[in-house]
Amino acid sequence: MALEMFCYQCSQAAGGTGCTVMGVCGKGPTLDRLQDNLIYTLKGISAYYHHARELGYKDEEIAAFLSRGLYSTLTNVDFDPQHFVELALEAGKMNIRVMKLLKKAHIENYGEPTPVEVETGTRKGHAIIVTGHNLKALEELLKQTEGKGINVYTHSEMLPAHGYPGLRKYKHLAGNLGKAWFDQKELFEKIPAAILGTSNCVLLPKESYRDRMFTTSVARLPGVKHIEGFDYTAVVEKALSLPPLEEKPGKYKLVTGFSTGSILGLADKIKDLVNSGKIRHFFLVGGCDAPLKGSTYYREFVKMLPEDTIVLTLACGKFRFNDLDLGDIEGIPRLIDLGQCNDSIVAVEIAEKLAELFGVGINDLPLTLVLSWMEQKAVAILFSLFALGIKGIYLGPVFPAWVNGEILQVLKENFDIRLISTPEEDIKAILKA
């Protein structure tokens, strides 16, 4: 049944023959989409704020904006489309604030990340796979499994945990299995391990592994045991009841753990390499991955980039290409993994420092953002970039679902946003080769 939108200004079906103020009150498809966008952005901010609060970090300004922003979407409160554009940009700024808060929480608890190689095979022994974004949950599990003959593996957005000294000190943090979030049904079915889902991006499990899967924190799945708090005794017992994994080395290693500090320590060298023409361009290639045919673009794009370019990456979009060996430019890695989606703040800080180093604005840097797209927290990050005034972003494989022709025109005019085409065409346009 189709739902008919009701206009509270004139008490008629919105846009119908009896709607007398549609052009005045603005209540229509574009306003609805702007409200959807704001709600998605608030979800992203809430996710990062939840993780920060679990570690004991709070910010009343963030909490106040969350309640004000969500209240503004309530029916018959705000009919002004322009105000929702302004709220979206304010939400982008607030998302920067919450990412900084979460970064502080992570570093003060686990130390600043440093580059590290991560195994992608298995060790002999019992196993637990941890998926999601929740470092607090991972830490508590590592404490409770120490010395028990259990190896703990990360999956998807949990990969960057290996970069934190306070987490990798646990010798049974054994490596990373699988890639982006959507491979979990295949991965979890074939590996006889206990599984802990710690945040969003958990999928409904197959029956073959439902009994060895657990959720914690905000994550919940029907028919899956949920653990309140951080007592993971049930997960440990399940892991010990399962057959041990065999020793099976991975085909490659992944490198993660590049923090703001580790990159800025190379700032002078990077400046010299840019000035001498040895580094021509920087690309930030990453974002939210999805099982879409068009997402193959990102691997081909990275593979085709000239050897005098650097690729920064983050979030689960990096799994499209982070197994590639791109080499280095006089000791500067050509592929630099900055971390989870919330670590977008690291990319922002690096861009700001490079702009300061070269005495230019961010949009004048030899830097292009090529982002993979899916809804959820990616919206918050996108509007953080808009709030910073960053232009010329390439986005794909499709535009956000809440974008219609009117909104797209505004984004193009104000932020020069572009839909990806082919790797060859886009690289040529960016590098003007």
Q: What is the pLDDT of residue 27?
A: 54
What are the tokens at 150? 């259990």
What are the tokens at 103? 């970064």
Residue 4 CA to residue 305 CA, distance in Å, equals 49
For residue 311, what is the DSSP state?
A: E
Give whole-number Cα distances, 58 to 41, 52, 53, 62, 231, in Å. Answer: 19, 7, 6, 8, 23
3-class state of residue 178 by DSSP: coil
Residue 377 CA to residue 181 CA, distance in Å, equals 14
Residue 354 CA to residue 234 CA, distance in Å, equals 48
Among 331, 352, 327, which Cα is nearest to 272's? 331
Among 320, 228, 327, which Cα is nearest to 278's? 327
3-class state of residue 419 by DSSP: strand
Q: Which one-letter amino acid corresponds to residue 53? A: R
User: How many alpha carbons lie under 13 Å from residue 410 in its C-beta half-sphere?
Assistant: 11
Q: What is the pLDDT of residue 17?
A: 44
Tens-of-pLDDT digits for all 433 residues of the chain? 233 333 434 444 444 444 433 333 445 789 999 999 999 999 999 999 999 999 999 999 999 999 999 999 997 788 899 999 999 999 999 999 999 999 999 999 999 999 999 999 999 999 999 999 999 999 999 999 999 999 999 999 999 999 999 999 999 999 999 999 999 999 999 999 999 999 999 999 999 999 999 999 999 999 999 999 999 999 999 999 999 999 999 999 999 999 999 999 999 999 999 999 999 999 999 999 999 999 999 999 999 999 999 999 999 999 999 999 999 999 999 999 999 999 999 999 999 999 999 999 999 999 999 999 877 799 999 999 999 999 999 999 998 888 999 999 999 999 999 999 999 999 999 999 5
Among 104, 60, 54, which Cα is nearest to 345's? 104
Residue 96 CA to residue 55 CA, distance in Å, equals 18
Give whole-number Cα distances, 258 to 123, 132, 227, 313, 338, in Å. Answer: 25, 19, 32, 10, 5
Residue 79 CA to residue 28 CA, distance in Å, equals 9
For residue 97, what is the DSSP state?
A: H
Q: What is the pLDDT of residue 5?
A: 36
User: How many alpha carbons lie under 13 Å from residue 6 in its C-beta half-sphere?
Assistant: 4
Residue 360 CA to residue 195 CA, distance in Å, equals 47
For 147-158, b/e burial (b = at least 16 CB within 10 A) is: eeebbbbbbbbb
Q: What is the pLDDT of residue 28?
A: 75
Task: Note if the pTM is more than 0.85.
Answer: yes
Give whole-number Cα distances, 44 to 66, 84, 235, 342, 428, in Å. Answer: 10, 17, 28, 9, 34
